[in-house]
Structure 1
Amino acid sequence: MKASLAVLFALTLAPPLSIADEPQSKIVLSEDGKDFRLAGTETAFYVWGVNYDHDGDGKLIEDYWHDDWAMIEEDFSEIKSLGANVVRVHLQLPKFMKTASEPNEENLQKLADLVKLAEAEQLYLNLTGLGCYHKQDVPVWYDEMKEADRWQVQANFWKAVAKKCKDSPAVFCYDLMNEPVLGGGTNADQWLVGEPLGGKYFVQRITTDAAGRDNKEIAAAWVKTLTDAIREVDPQTLITVGVIPWAHVWPNAKPLFYSEEVSGPLDFASVHFYPERDGVEKAIVALKVYDIGKPLVIEEFFPLKCSLEEAEQFLAKARPITDGVTSFYWGTTQEEYTEAGTMQGAISAKWLERFRQGAPEASK
């Protein structure tokens, strides 16, 4: 049974696509806007990627890319060997903005170096921005800002990043923010939400004061502010925003950022899924809520709460309505996980092997 699941897992992914010996092409939307294509062709592109969100010690990329660039080069080579074609990198706003209006040119140059590395490895980058994952790094001047000023800083961030990256075919997309939410909840006056996970705040509010507006009005204004800033300097790179799929939490929930009123400037939908044990069908039902006629990417996926077999079942069932999957790579190889001899290491090693087996031919 396990062997047949692995075969099914591999067969239900993207059709073969051979790009290894050709110049890297920009990824664009198909003419009908429903799928990804290599620019200037009708060749389909299926995202098979990893989140490269921190290293094995929990450090963020800006914490080590000045002093340990060789490790990043090694990690990108290992990611390529896994059969991945997209690397999702999480950029921290405090590392890219010295002041409200002055970008950090030193880190922008390292980002340019990262783009060149992706080009060399024939990998694509999902640049996820505005991170404030390490609360201690968030400057007081930014944390104390009101909504309008904060959004302007965020627009300045994206304009600086897009200006630096716009000419590279290796930049697949700009993800406006990881898991934005609106106001309300506990400590509603705080921009960072909930308790940290592994010392990191992955969820962030875009407002702390609705001021009489409904959620769709706020979300639409925020998306337009940031996409307008990007489009001033980069008219072509795809834009998305990675969201918590609330329909997976509450079955009757409707999309906010991917509602008709909000999603206009976004080129494709990105959702984060961690199916629960015995919950594959529930997750698929929730996933279909975000199938809105645009490409749909599962931007975060890992068998965190389910078995490896259930993870394969979910991806096989998701394949007909999705245009990509992005798992995780934390700088530890399959062999290193195995040598560690721990239960968690064994699970991670098995998942990396299955991830490698399922990769589209184009990425190998």
Structure 2
Amino acid sequence: MRFWFVVFAFYGMASVSVQAMPAIRVSDDGEHFVLEGSGERFVVWGVNYDHNTAGELLDEYWIERWDEVVEDFSEIKQLGANCVRIHLQVGKFVEAPGRVNQAALDQLAELLKLAEREGLYLDITGLACYHKSNVPGWYDQQSEEERWKTQAFFWEAVASVCRDSPAVFCYDLMNEPILAGRQPETDWLGGELGGKFFVQRLTLDLAGRSRSDVAKAWVDQMVDAIRNHDDRHLITVGVIPWVFAFGGGKPLFYSPEVSERLDFVSVHFYPEKEQVAKAIIALKAYDIGKPLVVEEMFPMKCSERELVEFVRASKSIADGWISFYWGSTARQLRETEDATIAHAITASWLDQFKAMAEEMKSVRGK
């Protein structure tokens, strides 16, 4: 208990308190976002800043190469974005059970100050295990109960640093959590994509519990951890829209049983070629009377034109859209000596994203 008091008292004093930006809250009718004080509607138009062009994750280089982060935030602002989604690895913030990494928390405080200076809100996504090399062996060996305790510890530490910063848009409890199937699993992480593991299991064994019961218990424990130190900022969970992927079914985390303590809906949509209408239908399944943010989108499976069509068609449903920025401007991507088709697609999309910024931030359809 003494350790907790010292750690959180210290970071409470060190947390950012500059009030240059109005905080974001849910509107009184519960359906969209507004700025604290003025009540002006706020629409999210942002980017995932999950890794750089070399594939390095933010918390792997943000101390030694801070100047790169400063430059990237300036470039993101020039794109017309008002929000940056960052991804924090649990292994970079928790050194051992019950012991935080002070340097990482200090750097997070610096990032908050940078975001305030640039006028960019942060979607703080935590508990990442994207690079297996950064996942501590002891963490993988923990039981479900111990692992959840470590995850709650992570969120208590992060919330203690972030609680007073107006630049915090939200805490995203985990990127794309999944559960075990009918049979027990042996690995906490899901499949690999480009050398990264973006999907993580909350349990290896349902042990007779319903999926809703497990999801609700985990959400409640993580929310409690944050609310011990921050009763102000919004909380969400970014999910794979299985309703879209499987062509039916019901949302799990945004079901009535699980979503009660989540402030808004976050879903990740990559529309398929010639299936924009189908994606919109699936998106409507997540319109549950709370603000809704498309937290990931990119012309990965469809054309740029079709993604623009999806974004504009979702104006009456969504309250925000977050794409990607990987540390290179459209011009830099085009001038790369070994530029590929992927470089060209990304450069073109960044130009389109910038061109749509003012239009989308002024959306008033919902």
TM-score normalized by the length of structure 2: 0.91
Distance across 2 between alignment mates of 1:126 and 1:185: 33
- Residue from 59, 76, 79 that aligns with 1:79: 76
Instruction: Detail structure 1 runs of 4+ shifted over 4 Å in the superposition.
Output: 361-364
State which of 123, 128, 131 in structure 2 corresponds to 1:126: 123
Among 259, 268, 272, the alignment partner of 2:268 is: 272
d(CA) in 2 for partners of 1:242, 1:361: 24
Among residues 316, 323, 332, which one is paired with 1:320 in the alignment? 316
1:300 aligns to 2:296 (yes or no): yes
Correspondence for 1:38: 35
Equivalent position of 1:11 in the other structure: none
Q: CA offset at residue 42 of structure 1?
A: 2.1
Distance apart, 1:363 and its partner CA: 7.3
Whether the 8 Å CA contact 2:45–2:360 is kept in 1: the answer is no
Distance 2:182 2:190 in 1: 9
How many Å apart are 1:188 and its aligned residue? 1.6
1:362 CA drift (Å): 9.8
Moved more, 184-193 or 263-272: 184-193
Measured against aligned partners, the alpha-carbon deviations of 1:101-143 in whole angstroms (never above 9, x if no partner) come to 1111110000000000000000000000000111121111110
Counterpart amino acid of residue 183 in structure 1 = A
Q: Aligned AA for 1:342? A: T
2:56 aligned with 1:62: no
> Structure 1 residue 99: deviation in Å?
1.1
Alpha-carbon shift at residue 187 of structure 1 (Å):
8.1
In structure 2, relative to structure 1, the CA distance for the partners of 1:311 and 1:42 (3 Å cut) is same
Deviation by residue 1:56-94 (Cα, 9 ceiling, x = unmatched): 000011111111000000000000000000000000000
1:259-286, Cα deviation, whole Å (9 max, x unpaired)? 0000001000000000010010110011
Gaps of 5+ in 1: 1-21
Query: 2:345 & 2:207 partners in 1: Cα distance?
Result: 47
Of the three residues 327, 351, 354, the one matched with 1:353 is: 351
User: Is 2:212 the partner of 1:216?
Assistant: yes
1:177-326 matches, within 5 Å, as 177-184=174-181, 188-194=185-191, 196-326=192-322
Per-residue CA deviations over 1:197-216 (Å, capped at 9, x if unaligned) read 11110000000011110000
Tell me how far apart the structure 2 counterparts of residues 121 and 39 of structure 1 sit (CA, whole Å).
Answer: 19
Name 2:5's counterpart in structure 1.
none
SS at match of 1:75: helix
Q: Indicate conservation of the 8 Å contact 1:48/1:360, yes or no.
A: no
Give the CA RMSD over aligned residues: 1.6
1:6 paired residue number = none
Give the superposition deviation at 1:250. 1.3
The residue aligned with 1:100 is: 97
Matched, 1:342 2:340: yes
Amino acid at match of 2:169: F
Distance in 2 between the 1:269 and 1:135 partners? 28
What is the CA distance between 1:353 and its match in structure 2? 0.7
Aligned residue for 1:255, secondary structure, equals coil
| Amino acid across the alignment from 1:257 | F
Percent of matched pairs sharing the same residue: 55
Partner of 2:8: none
Using structure 1 for the length normalisation, give the TM-score. 0.92
Structure 2 unpaired stretches of 5+:
1-18
